[in-house]
Structure 1
Amino acid sequence: MYNTISPINMHYMSLERIYTCGKWVNNWIARRADISGNWIALKDDLTIPLRTVSFAQLNEVSNKIANFLRENFGISKGDYVAILSWSRIEFVATLLACFKIGCVLAPINTRYTSREIQEFVDKVNPKVLLYEKEFSETVSNIETKKVCYDCPNEFNYEKYSSNDVSTACCLEDPALILQTGGTTGKPKFAIVSHRMILWNAVNTVRDLVIPGDVTINTLPLFHIGAFTYLIPLLMFGGTSILMRRWNVDRFIDLVEEERPTFLFLVPTQLRMLLASPRFKDADFSSVRWFTSGGGALTPDIIEKIFEKGVVQKQGFGMTEMGPGIFALDPWDAKRKMGSIGKPNLLIEARVVLQDGSEAPRGVEGELYLRGPSVFSGYLKNEEEMKSIIKDGWLATGDVARVDEEGYFWIAGRIKNIIRSGEESVYPEEIERLLIMHPKIKDAVVIGVPDPKWGEVPKALIVLKEGEKITKEEVIDFLKDKLAKYKIPKYVEVVPQLVYTETGKVARQSLKILYGKPEDKLEV
């Protein structure tokens, strides 16, 4: 008996391919250039005044870079291109050029050493590494083809044709490789598909983003957080101002000069902003709202933003699901202060207990997510992917609860939990309280060995300038706010904490530096 496909099934198979493949998947920037050619797409602070490109110019530059990569290195669909660069217009143009070709862009952490870059290259196997001149010495011995990004004689894309020779892609084709999990061990390489990019843009636009919006992109472009609003604004006609590197004074200057309509900062950046003597008198009148992700905010931070006449709301994202997963609407920002809000339009979320059942409202468990923006797996690491996908749901590793109104709250990361006897201690809960102490500028809590309990919490605190503190002061501040087993057994004053490039606490580094079970109140 022969297997046959009916004409009607063939019709639907053809439709499926039409609606999942095509140049619209990966060359949407050309369409945006047709619609909004003279609108400003990007600015960067590589120079003063800022460099500026329109959508038409950005599309033209990305076409030239695509042709440069094709003709010089034979880059074609499915190949990998690595890039080591601070945020700049050419970085985004290269991203769009890779989209057009159908190749995969792999951004490298700008803090990496030569050894780490070589490990990255060995894993990804790019056909070429594009790098800024600043990193010439770091990449000098890297074994791969290299091109200096800001050396006109090497990256001379201007000489190449601006003809659009884009290749049609399918939604499942890979577009980006982004690293994740680097603060706790060997980083994993998450595969970001065009499907993930497009659905995240749709989810994010639901978060009150409109054509003509302007934002300042403060995060490095090797991190998923940098794409939270960059891609949606490029798709839907807004403007992104790329900060080469984070600097609080420069940020305030840009806010006052460029008049952004909304802003995204991680908690570390927000604390630096509020600590600036310029913040009180800075003009934020153009800003409709602040949003934050990458960690919880304390109520005092949120209140200070509200005092500026700006709504501050929390969001939530992750490399494996994208940046636009949860949003707290502005009208709920004060009423549900500290919540990450509700899942965005095309995201399903639930909280799961250890036995796999769904947690009742108000009970903590692990946050599970499902939706079309899920990533496509880890590069050359299928086992890791299998370990976090449970019956079609992505197990996030975050401890969460849902309140009676359906709002989600994050308690902390499972991997950060301190197991003290039979109790689970969430460092993030203690940290949020510690930084509310009038003498404490910053704090992190780690687990240290204990002969009786196995592990106990130790507080590492950074004091405000000129301040001194005793262990008793710390304990007294916490004792009516926390159960006894959560109160740090040890306190150490440190000169500063260690953070990753994206503003997250490097907990493993701090445990190596300060992981002894001892008190130390003098720096």
Structure 2
Amino acid sequence: MIRFDWLSKWAQYSGSKQAVKEFETDRTMTYAQLNNVVQQVAHTFISHCGLQRGDRVAIFAENSLEHLILFFTAQKTGLIIVPLNFRLAIPEIDFQLRDARPRLIIIEDKFRATLEQCVSLKQIEFVWSVPELQDVCSSKKSAAQDFSPHHSLHEDDPVFILYTSGSTGVPKGVLYTHKMLFWNSINTTMRLDITSDDRSVSCMPLFHTGGWNVVPTPFLHRGASICLLKSFNAETVLRLLQDERATMFVAVPTMLQMMAQAKSFAEVDLAALRYFVIGGEPMPLPLIEQWHHKGVPIRQGYGLTEVGPSVTSLHQDDAITKMGSIGKPNFYIDTQIVNEAGQAQSSGGVGELLLKGPTVTPGYWQNQELTAAAIVDGWFHTGDLVKQDQEGYLFVVDRKKNMYISGGENVYPAEVEKFLHSLPAIEEVAIIGIPDEKWGEVGKAFVVTKPGFTLTEKEVSDYCLGNLAKYKIPKSVQFLSALPKNDAAKINRKELLQIHYSTLNNNH
């Protein structure tokens, strides 16, 4: 037995307890059943396929029980799981396959035609369908029970390669280690009070760290139970939260907005929920209040693939009084806020957030240059600009890369967006810096209006006048039916810039 093998322990302690349920198929597994299956898969991978510690195993599928089987197999064997994003374009998928070089890939049948267009697929030694993996799982070969976990695993060995969304260029493969996994679970468990009695519905995509490491892995570390969905559907999730008596649920604000607008919102009983855990972006006050009125407190936080992801947490009691804050750092996280010269900022000063601790990645897969730029003297440079109030609460001002300089003044789009959200007609707003001959850069606002509301560019400008410094006021406004989002449901600012230039060309 090794310290990375959580599943064997829970199979001993609570073997008959349900570990996971897959909603769409109604498949369930207890901890003992899951352990037996994982033993079989580990035995097959090592003894029959000849896979070795450090080899990559990719999966190209929607959320499934098979993802969790592969995860626990990695904990026992030292294999590295590469969950691929099935929403990407073929060249992007091909890049990740070429970069990760898995020896084995498991493909959901509905995606096989897509993957077969990738040149790199031909270089992979073992190409299995999900049913082929299921056949291995259902095999009763007794030799598998004699499989022993890999005793020479090191805490810095990767358990995942998690690719970032790539919204700003070539995706980076973040190494996610056994040590990160353990300490992230400890941080999450301590701040969210997770116990073995907890239950959650999990629908965040498993090609993101948020899908893996906010709820599923800390829950499974604690011997709790999860119900896994292939994807998010507002009505389905509301019903499941009620039927499964879920105690916790992780989402982004867009998901909670859709759930609040769902037909069954008023009637579902969510009394078992201690709170929602929200990340990705700040949650607007009206939505917080809507869920509080429903009896569901809002717990907000901050994280990123390279650290944690559970970095900070804002207690639900502070959801309104400290609205917009990401809370305070989790237990085993050290923070610094520094200016461009690397000097510590005083309380209230804006600077880049630096993080240190056992949940920091050792780096990017086969990219020493990016690793050296991101991690300096053990401190991870997040690229997020933050400030800290006198009580120690952190507030994200903006991404460093989103900031633009207009007439020599720093402008943080998030600050202006937050103000414009107070305009009743605005549903969504995003601001980017665009080139300007006089000022160097100026702001351009992209606005989505609420149904039944109308708004003009002049009305937006007039609303800002007197409330914002002139250099912060967007010079132009473009109205869209929806803002482009990436797979993490975050605004894709690179695409907004493309929309700007496309509009500019069309007008000439």
TMscore range, shorter length: over 0.9
Where does residue 218 of structure 1 map in the other structure? 203
Name the SS for the 2:441 alignment partner: strand
Cα pair 1:79 1:126 within 8 Å, conserved: yes
Where does residue 53 of structure 2 map in the other structure? 77
Check 1:356–1:241 CA distance in 2 against 1; reply closer, same or farther (3 A cut): same
TM-fit CA distance, 1:463: 2.2
**Cα RMSD for the two superposed structures:** 2.1
Cα pair 2:411 2:472 within 8 Å, conserved: yes
TM-fit CA distance, 1:519: 13
Worse-matched range after superposition: 112-121 or 123-132? 112-121
Where does residue 16 of structure 1 map in the other structure? none
Where does residue 343 of structure 1 map in the other structure? 329
Q: Out of 29, 41, 44, which is 1:65 matched to?
A: 41
Where does residue 447 of structure 2 map in the other structure? 461
Whole-angstrom distance in 1 between the partners of 2:339 and 2:15: 51
Aligned pairs for 1:499-510 (under 5 A) are 499-510=485-496
1:407-443 Cα shifts (integer Å, max 9, x gaps): 1111110011122221222222222333343322222
Where does residue 33 of structure 1 map in the other structure? 11
Check 1:493–1:61 CA distance in 2 against 1; reply closer, same or farther (3 A cut): same
Cα pair 2:165 2:488 within 8 Å, conserved: no
Whole-angstrom distance in 2 between the partners of 1:283 and 1:487: 44
Check 1:200–1:70 CA distance in 2 against 1; reply closer, same or farther (3 A cut): same
Cα pair 1:316 1:324 within 8 Å, conserved: yes
Check 1:69–1:319 CA distance in 2 against 1; reply closer, same or farther (3 A cut): same
Check 1:462–1:243 CA distance in 2 against 1; reply closer, same or farther (3 A cut): same
Worse-matched range after superposition: 271-280 or 333-342? 271-280
TM-fit CA distance, 1:292: 1.0
Where does residue 180 of structure 1 map in the other structure? 164
Q: Out of 288, 300, 309, which is 2:295 matched to?
A: 309
1:319-367 Cα shifts (integer Å, max 9, x gaps): 1111111112233333322211111111111211222221101111111
Cα pair 1:213 1:260 within 8 Å, conserved: yes
Check 1:133–1:103 CA distance in 2 against 1; reply closer, same or farther (3 A cut): same
Where does residue 378 of structure 2 map in the other structure? 392
Aligned pairs for 1:55-454 (under 5 A) are 55-141=31-117, 142-143=121-122, 144-152=124-132, 156-159=136-139, 161=141, 162-163=144-145, 164-168=147-151, 169-180=153-164, 182-207=166-191, 208-226=193-211, 227-454=213-440
TM-fit CA distance, 1:165: 2.8
Cα pair 2:328 2:394 within 8 Å, conserved: yes
1:260-310 Cα shifts (integer Å, max 9, x gaps): 111111122223223334434432221111121111222222222222222
Name the SS for the 1:279 alignment partner: coil
Whole-angstrom distance in 2 between the partners of 1:440 and 1:119: 38
Name the SS for the 1:404 alignment partner: coil
Check 1:153–1:273 CA distance in 2 against 1; reply closer, same or farther (3 A cut): closer
Whole-angstrom distance in 1 between the partners of 2:399 and 2:421: 19
Q: In structure 2, give the amino acid aligned to 1:158.
A: S
TM-fit CA distance, 1:123: 0.7
Unpaired runs of 5+ residues, structure 1, are: 1-22
TM-fit CA distance, 1:386: 0.9
TM-fit CA distance, 1:316: 0.9
Unpaired runs of 5+ residues, structure 2, are: none
Q: In structure 1, give the amino acid aligned to 2:30.
A: S
TM-fit CA distance, 1:518: 6.3
Cα pair 1:201 1:231 within 8 Å, conserved: yes
Whole-angstrom distance in 1 between the partners of 2:365 and 2:326: 29
TM-fit CA distance, 1:110: 1.4
Whole-angstrom distance in 2 between the partners of 1:421 and 1:282: 52
Q: In structure 1, give the amino acid aligned to 2:167.
A: T
TM-fit CA distance, 1:452: 1.0
Check 1:70–1:481 CA distance in 2 against 1; reply closer, same or farther (3 A cut): farther
Given the two structures, how large is their TM-score scaled by the length of structure 1?
A: 0.90
TM-fit CA distance, 1:467: 3.0
Q: In structure 1, give the amino acid aligned to 2:475.
A: K
Whole-angstrom distance in 2 between the partners of 1:427 and 1:479: 16
Whole-angstrom distance in 2 between the partners of 1:269 and 1:228: 16
Cα pair 1:216 1:260 within 8 Å, conserved: yes
Whole-angstrom distance in 2 between the partners of 1:190 and 1:202: 20
Check 1:354–1:42 CA distance in 2 against 1; reply closer, same or farther (3 A cut): same
TM-fit CA distance, 1:469: 1.4
